Amino acid sequence: MHNHDILIRVRYALDIKNKDMVEIFKLGGVNVTQEEVMEMLTKPKEEDYDEYEDDDVDFYAYEDEEDTIKCNNKMMESFLNGLIIFKRGKQEPKPGQPESPAPTGKESVNNVLLKKLKIALTLTSEDMIEILGDAGVNITKGELGAILRKEGHRNYKQCGDRYARNFLKGLTLKYRG
């Protein structure tokens, strides 16, 4: 799944308003206007997805489509961090800890998505299994644990698009009925 699709689906599933989207990005450390958020939520052409995942570029418009703004991995992670703060409140760092969370690096966007949504929505593993089950995907607790592990762990498993897409579908069913 592309970051753009994830952003649209999370917004729809959790029924997040435009002004709240701006606030979530701000809490995550990215300043955007409501118009820029609306441009990000405009679906790009399929051929534009090739250069879509470029992490070196923070925020820019497509050359051939000036009305669409890219959401790269850094912006997506900032949005998810902001969503955690928006839903749960800002956590004061303990002495010796950095002020903001360290970027996850090259870890799969889908793995980061599941981890951060689990934190933001205070879900347990059983809740996540139930949400995936509502979307028609059966997963064991061990498989889910492997997806939620840190990259580099011997039992780490990369989350495929199928799980991410169906998790967002299950969230939509849970929160929107």
**What is the per-residue pLDDT across 108-160, written as a single tens digit (0 to 9) for each?**
899 999 999 999 999 999 999 999 999 999 999 999 999 999 989 999 999 99
Q: Which of 48-52, 63-67, 158-162 has the lowest mean pLDDT?
A: 63-67
Instruction: Provide the pLDDT confidence category of residue 70 given band limits of 50, 70 and 90.
Output: confident
- Compute the distance between CA of residue 23 and CA of residue 85 in angstroms, rounded to an integer: 10
63 CB neighbour count, 10 Å cutoff? 8
- 172 and 140 in a common domain: yes
- 129 and 75 in a common domain: no
> Which of 88, 117, 133 corresponds to the end of one domain?
88
- The pLDDT value recorded for residue 69 is 63
Domain containing 172: what range? 109-176
Residue pair 79/24 in contact (Cβ under 8 Å)? The answer is: yes
Flag whether 45 is in a domain. yes
> What's the mean per-residue pLDDT of the chain?
83
- 137 and 77 in a common domain: no
- The pLDDT value recorded for residue 118 is 96
- 102 or 119: which carries more pLDDT confidence? 119
Residue pair 34/19 in contact (Cβ under 8 Å)? The answer is: yes
Flag whether 101 is in a domain. no
In total, how many domains does the chain have?
A: 2
- The pLDDT value recorded for residue 103 is 58
- 74 and 22 in a common domain: yes
> What is the rounded average pLDDT of the residues 71-97?
88
Quick check: 42 pLDDT over 90?
A: no
Tokens of 51: 């250069």
**Chain centroid offset of residue 41 CA:** 14
Q: Which amino acid is at 12?
A: Y
- 79 and 16 in a common domain: yes
- 124 and 83 in a common domain: no
- The pLDDT value recorded for residue 67 is 46
